[in-house]
Amino acid sequence: MIAGRLRTDRVVVCGFVLTCLLALVVAAPGGSGQAGLGPQTTEGNSKSAEPSDALRRLQLERHRVLKDVVAQFGWMAEQGREDTAGLRDFTVAMFHAEADLADNPAERMKVYERLVEFLRDHEKHVERMATAGRVPTVEVSKAKIVSLEAQIVLERQRLAQQAAR
- Write out the H or E segment, with its range, that includes residue 6: helix 2-27
- Cβ burial of 52 (10 Å; 0-12, 13-18, 19+) is exposed
pLDDT at 90: 94
Question: What's the whole-model pTM score?
Answer: 0.68
pLDDT digits (tens, 9 = 90+) for 83-109: 888 889 999 999 999 999 999 999 999
Task: Please give the distance of CA 134 from its chain centroid, rounded to a whole number.
Answer: 23
Question: What's the confidence (pLDDT) of residue 32?
Answer: 41
pLDDT at 75: 85
Any idea what DSSP says for residue 46? T
Percent of the chain with pLDDT over 70: 69
